[in-house]
Amino acid sequence: MTCSGYKDRKKNKFHQWANARLNDILVPVETFHLKDMFQDVIKHHQRFDFERIPAVVELCWQAGVHPHDLDLQLPNCLSDSAVDAAFNEADIVPANELRTIANRTIRAWETLREGVEKLLLVYPAKVCKYCSEVYVGPSGHKARLCGVFKYQNWRGAHFWEKASVDDLVPPKIVWSRRPQDPPALLDEGRDFYGHAPAVVDLCGKAGAVLPPRQYSKTVQEAG
């Protein structure tokens, strides 16, 4: 029963459910694309002079990936028609093939997060303390984009701190229903329900062998 986020002071609201899309599970995180990691700090009036690309792509670019090896112009979000087409195609995929896809997906998810975690040990990244804005570089930018303090004295300035892998690759935690749980999970039982990243939960439902981490046992027992 936690909904509406920081923009709404009335936190205790029921969710309004709709069909999830790809970007609801793999949350896209964008950042400014820098020509040089040690370039001058981006000022507020320069915010439209720099391209916005996925933060993971920017991190890899600064780690030495040649920019021409990647199409940085690709959109982060698939269109609804493309996603619907993928869902319709999945309707005719055999169960054993879905299991193979799920196993490949969970391995890719683990490889992505482990890679980002290692790169962050060498290449600095910042995240705003009060919103999800990410900056890949030794210091944050000065573009006033933080909605939390938009109408206060800070005028939208970010408060930067060290970023973690969860800031660049959000796990998007979902709750898991156990056999003894009610059909609709209740707020008072949130400390007892199983939970895991949405990608892990989705792949587990498709029959994937989950990685040996703490959420593996949680999802398997909840299922």
Query: Tens digits of per-residue pLDDT, 122-159?
Result: 999 999 988 889 999 988 888 877 765 554 555 667 88
User: What's the pLDDT score for residue 142?
Assistant: 82
| Euclidean distance between CA atoms 130 and 64, whole angstroms | 30
Model confidence at 1, pLDDT cuts 50, 70, 90, reads very low
Residues in a beta bridge with 52 = 32
Q: Which residue has the higher pLDDT, 102 or 153?
A: 102
Mean pLDDT along residues 58-62:
92
Per-chain mean pLDDT for the chain: 79
Q: Name the packing angle between helices 198-205 and 214-222 (round to 10°).
A: 50
Its pTM stands at 0.77
- Tell me what pLDDT residue 107 has: 94
With bands split at pLDDT 50, 70 and 90, how would you rate the model's confidence at 96? confident
- CA triplet 215, 174, 213: central angle to 5 degrees? 10
Q: Is the pLDDT of residue 12 over 70?
A: no
Q: Is 116 exposed, middle or buried (0-12, 13-18, 19+ CB in 10 A)?
A: buried
> Strands across the sheet with 134-136, in order?
134-136, 125-128, 160-162
Is the C-alpha dihedral spanning 73, 21, 199, 88 positive or negative? negative
pLDDT of residue 17: 81
